[in-house]
Structure 1
Amino acid sequence: MPVPSTQPAAERTLLRDTVQDKIRNAIMDGTLEPGERLNDDDLIAWLGVSRTPIREALAELARAGLVEMAPNRYTKVAAPSAAELLDAYQTLGVIYGGVVRLAVPRFTDAERRAVVRTLDDVLARLDDGQQAAVARDGADIYSMWVEACGNAALARLCRSTTDGLAFKLRVPEIAEVVPTEVVAPRIRELRDAVAAADPIAAELAMEAAHLLPARS
């Protein structure tokens, strides 16, 4: 099989990934708003690429839960709803309880201090009534655990699902469904467990912060 025949596919995959990252970032930072229609011609003009990598990127973002597609009808940014909030929040707890348990013993001292600082910032913002702002930063807050977990399969799962799940937390009802007075003490326990390098306590705190039932 001639080697050059594989090159166009590799280039197309790389271009699709670049396009996907740009659209993903625009969704996550609010440049593209929930419910906004995604027109191929507008995206071609913005990104300077052909239709094929754009459609491939949009299909990947739809699988991640950031885009909604109906063939021959519309392609648009997903619009989170209160009905999806609790399921998404608990799913993040199921996934990241395990990630935390693996990551905590592997943190370097510098990484541990950085995570503790981030959790301190989350607690300060919750105390200041900024729960919606914390939700907007959710994907970045979750991602800090992934690189240290040391499990490539779990890291891939997190990268493919976290954006879509964290995006579903961006609803006005989050303070009602995920009350700060319930969640903040569990995040404080998580912070203390990370500081103490206690993976079991950290896992349990992460799960409790996501409203999962206590283990018997």
Structure 2
Amino acid sequence: MPVPRTAPTEHQLLRDTVRLKIHAAIMDGTLEPGERLNDDELIAWLGVSRTPIREALSQLTRAGLIEMAPNRYTRVTTPKPDEVVEAMQTLGVLFGGVVRLAVPRLTAAARRRIVAQLDRTIAELESHDVASVNRDALDVFGLYVDACGNPDLQRVCRDTMDGLAFRLRLPNLDELIDWDRMTEDFRRLRAATESGDNIAAELATEAIHLLPGEKS
């Protein structure tokens, strides 16, 4: 039967607003890894009732940004060194397909934006600016996601990429991976994006994210 179309309720809007505010506070460092989240403090900060807060926290838990143990704690996820490879490879599977789809679709303006962001990230890699790489590398792949033209893939990426990338926010990330090799793979991605070679761009993206395979 036809599904009735109804406008979002105020309750739904509150939940989404709360989720976005907590998400932003985690990603910008206002809420730090391991920080416990108290319902009463969140209510005072956000000015809403407990129900939309708990629903938002549940969504952020599914996204990997929050850890919850019933009757024990609700806290911001703490990145762990032994999860780095797993998180990077998962991002590589997603972003490899995104880049392959996006590169042939890029307008001249979009290509310039991505190349400029890649240049920034490469400079940060060269200077071992780990904190900036953690931020800007995700941003550059977000530009490819915007351009890939596949709504289903965009939705999956936007639901998962922040939580996965957050697991890479370790101050010694450059000690856990081959930083020089990653720098070279980003240069390969830049060259392939600029030339419009989507297969080479996909392979470079997969290499950046530690997926096994022969490099071209």
Q: Tell whether the structures are fold-level matches, with TM greater than 0.5.
A: yes
Distance 1:155 1:166, change over 3 A: same
CA distance in 1, matches of 2:172, 2:9: 43
Structure 2, unpaired ranges of 5+: none
Cα RMSD between the aligned structures? 1.7
The answer to whether 1:213 aligns with 2:212 is yes
Partner deviation per Cα, 1:32-89 (whole Å, 9 max, x = no partner): 0000010000000000111111000000000000000011111000000101111101
Deviation (angstroms), 1:203 = 0.3
- 8 Å CA contact 2:121–2:137 kept in 1: the answer is no
Distance 1:14 1:115, change over 3 A: same
Partner deviation per Cα, 1:166-200 (whole Å, 9 max, x = no partner): 00001133112222111011100100111011111
The answer to whether 1:15 aligns with 2:14 is yes
Match in the other structure for 1:29? 28
Match in the other structure for 1:3? none
Match in the other structure for 1:85? 84
Match in the other structure for 1:98? 97
CA distance in 1, matches of 2:30, 2:131: 17
CA distance in 2, matches of 1:138, 1:60: 24
Match in the other structure for 2:153? 154
CA distance in 2, matches of 1:124, 1:76: 34
Scaled by the length of structure 2, the TM-score of the pair is: 0.93
- 8 Å CA contact 1:131–1:180 kept in 2: the answer is no
The answer to whether 1:121 aligns with 2:86 is no
Mean Cα displacement is larger for which, 89-98 or 128-137?
128-137
Scaled by the length of structure 1, the TM-score of the pair is: 0.93
Match in the other structure for 2:185? 186
CA distance in 2, matches of 1:102, 1:60: 28
2:9 partner SS: helix
Mean Cα displacement is larger for which, 147-156 or 172-181?
172-181
CA distance in 1, matches of 2:139, 2:10: 28
- 8 Å CA contact 1:34–1:78 kept in 2: the answer is yes
2:75 partner SS: strand
- 8 Å CA contact 1:119–1:187 kept in 2: the answer is yes
Identity percentage of aligned residues: 58
> Which amino acid is the alignment partner of residue 87 of structure 2?
A
CA distance in 2, matches of 1:126, 1:96: 19
1:30 partner SS: coil
Partner deviation per Cα, 1:108-134 (whole Å, 9 max, x = no partner): 100000000000000111111112321
- 8 Å CA contact 1:142–1:162 kept in 2: the answer is no
Deviation (angstroms), 1:100 = 0.3
The answer to whether 1:196 aligns with 2:195 is yes
Match in the other structure for 2:40? 41
> Which amino acid is the alignment partner of residue 91 of structure 1?
T
1:170-185 aligned at under 5 Å gives the runs: 170-185=169-184
Deviation (angstroms), 1:9 = 6.1
